[in-house]
Structure 1
Amino acid sequence: MPFALKLPRRNPDAPRPSLRERAAALKVSAAKVIGKGRSPHRWPRLAGGGAPSKALSDLIEAHMLAYARCLHGMGEEGADVPALRAAEEEAFRALLHTPLTSDADRGCYAAAVIERENGFLVRGYAGTRNDPLSVAYRNLRFGEHAPEPAQEAEPEPVEAAAPVLMNIDDPRSGLMTYADARGDLHTKPFAEGLAFMAARLNAVARTEYHRRFNAEANELDAAGCEELDARLRRELRLDALHILAFRFEQAFAEGQAERQGSTGAGASAAKVDLKPLTVLQLVNLHEAYAAARFLWEGVVARPYSVAWRDPRGCVHATPVGHLADFEETRAALIGDRIINELTSRSPPE
């Protein structure tokens, strides 16, 4: 005998329940199945504590509603997600900065903050005073619930400082004004100001040196690498920048001594009479002094020309070093005088 299932048919004339009535019927059915009614407390009670305050409960509920709306809107096309996230952030900040009056408030507050910070809508405030966990800790530990701008006193208006009009690149004062890497102005002696600028240029030049050396020294042998190193150091003026940056006191002291003629090289070079010599004789003399300058320059760089170095890096010469420095400077000065003499000569009429 075939099995026949007869389904009850609804009377088409019977009144249809509304959506509200159907929802109420579902709640009644769910209550019968679960067997328990809804808990009167939204948040669990703490052991030995009372119920949280109504103000805190309302803020928690408002934030949960904003949070749910934001999550729902992120899954819908055409939803204004930035506005929803801003509303959720505003509701959360209102909850975050609310005062806590009891242990029950503190427990529910901590649970709500931790739940949100472990959720999907975490913002990037880590490591700052505006981090929600930092704000929550200050609220729980010290009772500091006010937002950050309200905690800090408003700065009093400060009159604009008078512009620095003195000692700015004035040779007569011996001072110069320069800005450091942060933009702060400093007025210091020329030697220190130039040393600061030379240190910055030295860093840039060394970066360029390493870049070019690594790019050009791929297939070079040891001799080629040494030649490349010497060429780059010469083109980028690394030695000069290093001296100006880290041995500026010695450099300026020696330059001032030469300017004032304390070494005697300037006075000795001035005694050479160039007027009676012809143009050809001047050219030959310039070549001779150029060779002498190159020779004495090599002697200055020898180890026996250096007596010792102080902790600042200044080099103190031996008697041989002083002699070589004197002859090198004298040859350079005479060479400059010869060039000036040649340029001042006019062809005979």
Structure 2
Amino acid sequence: MSLSLKLPRRNPDAPRLSLRERAAALKASAAKVMRRTPPAAARPPLAGAGKPSAALAALLAAHEMAYGYALYAEAYGLPDLAERRQAEEEAFRALLHSPLHSDADRAAYAAAVISRQGRCHGEDTAAERDHPMAVAFRNITFGEHAREPEEMRHLGREVAPDPILAAIAASKAASDALDAFGDRTFGVPLTEEHREQEVALTAAEGKTRAAVWQTVPTTPAGRTALVDFARSMVARFANSEGDTDDAGHLLGRILDAFSAMVAADWGNTAPPIGEPAPAPAAIDYGERAKLSAEQIELSGLDVLSLAHLFEAFQAVRFSWEGVVARSYCDRGQLGDLPEFESERAAFALARIADEIASRTPSTDEQRDEILMSRTSYEMMCNGRIHDNTLLADITRAWTV
């Protein structure tokens, strides 16, 4: 028996479609495929978290888009790499400081921040308060999503120079050129060429000086430079020569007041006229901790209260020493605060121990509290009892 292959055939009774109808059916089929919702290209939904709010989802999408553009520009060496990175940084900062309203928001937010910090910059420690990981922790834990202060906005951004500095430099260069021309032509008959050159230099000086007055400084250093420039202009044109009734002298005093205002706004005091500003003194945290501990008033406490306060400060000191030992306290203000609190607790312990040792017990309970506190402090400081007076007091009180 021979084998045969039979293919399915169209029903001969069914009406045949025209070419126009077949083309319309093909277009309709293609349209259905094109309208089909594609699978999510972003991160998969987090289990049990639900969907984040629409506002946070928009910020997540905007940052993912900016991050992708930055990676593309970096991979292909595009000329707008700096702008792409800046756009990514701004989008991330907007996401970083966005409010979180639900567990879904917090889960999506944490995943985005951790993913970005792990893949973008490779930072593995958060040693500063305004580090993105530290900001994210405070946002998730405490709901603290306020934008960083104005002084911290430069982090991760290219800082533009103060325009007043360039304007002042240009004005000084024009003034120096005019002064040099005057020195060259002093005592020399001026020719027509000299007069034209003088007119051009004078016009250039006036133009650059007017540009300084029209420029608004954007930094404390720029404001200080503007006040100094104004003082130099008064000295250049007023020629008061120490006359207190002269307008130039009055303008100088006014500028001195402005200089003091600028310095006070900057957190410093204005240096004397003609003297350089002193270098900022380093903060002695140990001295500050000692002064803070000395402010504690202990004279009104009885022996039992002093003993309890000694135990409390002992626990506080041990707790702060544990914080100091953390890896994220190696540098910066985050490490200075625990170090300061630990030293302050140590100074307070020393004061309390001295105060307890100076008291005279009236009962056996007070005597025992005094000896236990003194012994604990001696072991804490020296690892053994070196004080012979303390040994004698222990022998008299506790030896049977």
Taking structure 2 as the reference length, the TM-score comes to: 0.30
Q: Which has the higher contact order (CA 8 A, sep 6+)?
A: 2
Higher strand share: 1
Higher helix share: 2
Between structure 1 and structure 2, the one with the greater Rg is 1
Taking structure 1 as the reference length, the TM-score comes to: 0.33
